[in-house]
Amino acid sequence: MKKVTLIVPDKIDHVIGSSMGGESEPEDVNATNIKRALCDRDEYHQYYYFESSEKVKVFSIVDYEGRD
């Protein structure tokens, strides 16, 4: 496994939609919505994303052998 340190904006966009349309609302960043942005990309009606990849920085990547 790898331990990744990210620098991200204070807000993350949360999109909730349906076949009739959708809307985006910024939310405060937390561990749950970062994980959803990274892992839950197949959700049709709800997803999280950062506005710009230029605002997300990978600070470090190191080997990780700890427990979850």
Our count of domains for the chain comes to 1
Q: Which domain holds residue 56?
A: 2-63
Residue 22: predicted pLDDT: 75
* Calpha distance 12→25 (Å, rounded): 8
In a domain, 39, yes or no: yes
Residues 33, 16 contacting (CB under 8 angstroms): no
pTM of the model: 0.77
Per-residue pLDDT tens over the stretch 7-35 = 999 999 999 876 677 788 999 999 999 99
In a domain, 45, yes or no: yes
In a domain, 68, yes or no: no
Cα dihedral angle (29, 8, 37, 16), rounded to 10 degrees? Answer: 50
* Calpha distance 17→23 (Å, rounded): 6
Structure tokens at 61: 């990547």
12 or 46, greater pLDDT: 12
Confidence tier at 68 by pLDDT (50, 70, 90): low
Amino acid identity at 13:
D
